[in-house]
Structure 1
């Protein structure tokens, strides 16, 4: 408080102002309280970098994979043909995505990026890709994907729905570093899904 209450004020309670302490005001939701601290003053506020890291993470928008797949949903693929799997590359769908948070002179910077995508293909098999995948182009023809692909060995008519339900689950790894030297890591997952139709081509002799 400035000025300090006079000696003998009820605010001092049983404390002696001549010992060098002081009365501080504390305001919380419009309610003011009076607190006595000795000569050393109020205790230092301890900043937890992990809390700031979470605040930085909360500022990011980390989306599930923006699925790209051949055959395209709504179209038809063929048993045995290469299936290409990929996601859009961007800060929100693959990273890197960066944000910071500060308090009490401490700043934490967090960087998030996808470290893998697990594709469950709906036929009981899964594909784990550590790249965003390669978008399919017509000139690739029947060549398999160089980094993230699959082949169906049975038509989707063998499933209850007549389609393969494909899910893509991305694992976001968020590394953070504080200006005080501390570091840490969070893991987040996001998932999206599509349905594809795969048919079997009958060869006539």
Structure 2
């Protein structure tokens, strides 16, 4: 309390200002059957304590703090055709990302408070590729980097085929956006409470896709 009650006040419960301090607390009161909306704050209560009370630690909040410590980036985009190059309508497009801790995981961090520690580990669960022509592709892997020996084979896990040239777009290119969804699993160290969070990160590139020119 500010200010503290004078010495001799009944609030001290027989103690003196040298023994501790008087505190005020306000606790929530749940109304049965009213759900989350049915929570009211009760009247202030005063009490004596020898040491400052320690607020309860919410492990989920510590998990969020651990997540905030991580460097999680959007996909490190690999794609054929490469930005600056030119692809052809009907030719397989490969999409992939470099598998680093920052772009694909796993990535871990911990946060501590009130005598407990929560460790969170983040991994990419899926990447949604917006191909810039109104279509999207959802990939549950990091994708397969293209190699020349693949030729005209389609990607085994994360690919696409354009049916029209990028000249049909206002900008003359396809703006490809890759959005990764990170699944973040957390646990109180020592085998305590567990939970899960999610995060998304995005990156984008522009590519050129031309129509095949047939000569007679």
Structure 2: runs of 5 or more not aligned: 24-45
| Shift in Å, 1:115 | 0.3
Correspondent of 2:99 among 89, 114, 126: 89
Q: Which residue of 2 is the match for residue 23 of structure 1? A: 20
User: Is 2:75 the counterpart of 1:75?
Assistant: no
User: Is 2:6 the counterpart of 1:10?
Assistant: yes
Correspondent of 1:177 among 187, 203, 209: 187
Q: Which residue of 2 is the match for residue 147 of structure 1? A: 157
TM-score, normalised to structure 1, is 0.83
Q: Which residue of 1 is the match for residue 58 of structure 2? A: 48
Q: In the comparison of the two structures, how many residue pairs are matched?
A: 188
The alignment's C-alpha RMSD in Å is 2.4
Structure 1: runs of 5 or more not aligned: 1-8, 27-34
Distance 1:10 1:19 in 2: 12
Distance 1:159 1:15 in 2: 75
| Shift in Å, 1:17 | 6.2
Distance 1:38 1:76 in 2: 73
Q: Which residue of 2 is the match for residue 137 of structure 1? A: 147
TM-score, normalised to structure 2, is 0.79
- Describe the SS at the equivalent of 1:92: coil
Correspondent of 1:190 among 201, 207, 210: 201
Moved over 6 A (4+): none
Give CA-to-partner distance per residue, 1:162-201, whole Å, 9 cap, x none.
Answer: 1011000100111111136211111111111111000011
Q: Which residue of 2 is the match for residue 117 of structure 1? A: 127
CA contact (8 A) 2:12 2:48 kept: no
CA contact (8 A) 1:23 1:36 kept: no
